[in-house]
Amino acid sequence: MSISIILPAKNEASGLRGVLPRLRALYPEAEIIVVDDGSSDDSADLVVQLGCTLIHHPYSKGNGAAIKSGARAAQGDILVFMDADGQHHPEDIPRLLDALHQGYDMVVGARGQSGQANRHRALANGLYNRLASWMVEHRIADLTSGFRAVRAHKFKQFLHLLPNGFSYPTTITMSFFRAGYAVEYLPIEASRREGRSHIRLFRDGFKFFMIIFKIATLYSPLKMFLPIALTFFLTGLGYYSYTFLAFHRLTIMSALLFITAVLVFLMGLISEQITALHFKNTED
């Protein structure tokens, strides 16, 4: 099966200088696509010099937008995504491809603790992994890894769902699980990146916080809304028990808590049906 290797890049000349020759030497028949996301360095010139396919964004649209541009242009039956900053090793690609040939639809390179950028990122990723594993009832070793191999026709079904920012790995992973596709995780060793990271803790903290809610609403909204509704109901029940025993009456606050519980539950139920219909249309 033909392979397309896609690398989103923004000011990653130093990383590309090391990784592209290795990719070309190891996979001479593969289509290698670099999506230049509005770089101000010589990344674009370097890609052309090394004989790889260049897609240029006139301005920075985001990591997810670069992934979508590369996927739309790719001709391969299998898409391999990897970072251009030198973190991912081209020598690990055959392991991902071997797992695909065993019947999986997407295989993800899972970083260990040593492969995380810093302690804060490691803690955040650990939280995402546990939440996502609970949602899909399957162990997810690295929800945010950008190193993965996937069957092209299945990946392209979800292009319209992918955000333009850094949360594309989360979205595509949950979409595959929601659609019933087989996903596998293989441990990899990730190196320290070349250059500076484009992710900032405080600037992107809220965006990553929103990933948690996106995971829940994308995969199974009722799993998020039901605990919230139950919390309101039990709070209302406890407050009603107190006011009934103390004053022998139902207060407005208790009634509001009960009504809120019902509304939140109904919102979750409706969201669950919308999600089911959406993925049914996607599979068709």
Question: Radius of gyration of the chain from Cα atoms?
Answer: 22
In this structure, the answer to whether residues 204 and 240 fall within a common structural domain is no
- Locate all alpha helices (DSSP H) within the chain, ordered by sequence: 13-26, 43-49, 63-73, 93-101, 119-136, 152-155, 168-179, 201-219, 221-247, 252-283
On the question of pLDDT at 215 being above 90, the answer is no
In this structure, the answer to whether residues 121 and 243 fall within a common structural domain is no
In this structure, the answer to whether residues 44 and 138 fall within a common structural domain is yes
Domain end marker among 189, 204, 219: 219
* Residue 33 lies in domain: 3-219
Give the confidence band of 64 by pLDDT, cuts at 50, 70, 90.
very high
The predicted pLDDT at position 280 comes to 62
In this structure, the answer to whether residues 157 and 248 fall within a common structural domain is no
In this structure, the answer to whether residues 105 and 131 fall within a common structural domain is yes
Domain end marker among 197, 219, 241: 219
Q: Who wins on pLDDT, 90 or 222? A: 90
Tokens of 16: 């590309």
On the question of pLDDT at 283 being above 60, the answer is no
Half-sphere exposure of 139 (CA within 13 A, CB side): 5
The predicted pLDDT at position 123 comes to 76
In this structure, the answer to whether residues 255 and 168 fall within a common structural domain is no
Residue type present at position 107: V
- The Cα–Cα gap between 284 and 275 comes to 14
In this structure, the answer to whether residues 245 and 118 fall within a common structural domain is no
In this structure, the answer to whether residues 128 and 230 fall within a common structural domain is no
Nearest to 198 by CA among 9, 5, 2: 9
In this structure, the answer to whether residues 175 and 233 fall within a common structural domain is no
Domain end marker among 185, 219, 253: 219
| CATH number of domain containing 100 | 3.90.550.10
Q: 187: helix, coil or strand?
A: strand
Domain count, the chain: 2
- The Cα–Cα gap between 74 and 32 comes to 9
Poorest-pLDDT segment among 25-29, 38-42, 199-203, 245-249: 199-203
Instruction: Read off the pLDDT of residues 161-209 as tens digits, 9 standing for 90 and up.
Output: 888 877 788 889 988 988 889 999 999 988 765 555 555 545 555 666 6
In this structure, the answer to whether residues 209 and 239 fall within a common structural domain is no
In this structure, the answer to whether residues 189 and 85 fall within a common structural domain is yes
Backbone φ and ψ for 186, nearest 5 degrees, come out as -120, 135
Contact 254, 236 (CB under 8 A): yes
In this structure, the answer to whether residues 33 and 172 fall within a common structural domain is yes
- The Cα–Cα gap between 54 and 74 comes to 11
Q: What is the number of other CB atoms lying within 10 angstroms of the CB of residue 85?
A: 25
Instruction: Read off the pLDDT of residues 142-163 as tens digits, 9 standing for 90 and up.
Output: 988 999 999 999 999 999 888 8
Identify the DSSP state of 119. H
Give the confidence band of 114 by pLDDT, cuts at 50, 70, 90.
low
| pTM beyond 0.85, yes or no | no
* Whole-number Cα distances in Å, 140 to 36, 82, 210: 30, 19, 19
Percent of the chain exceeding pLDDT 90 equals 55
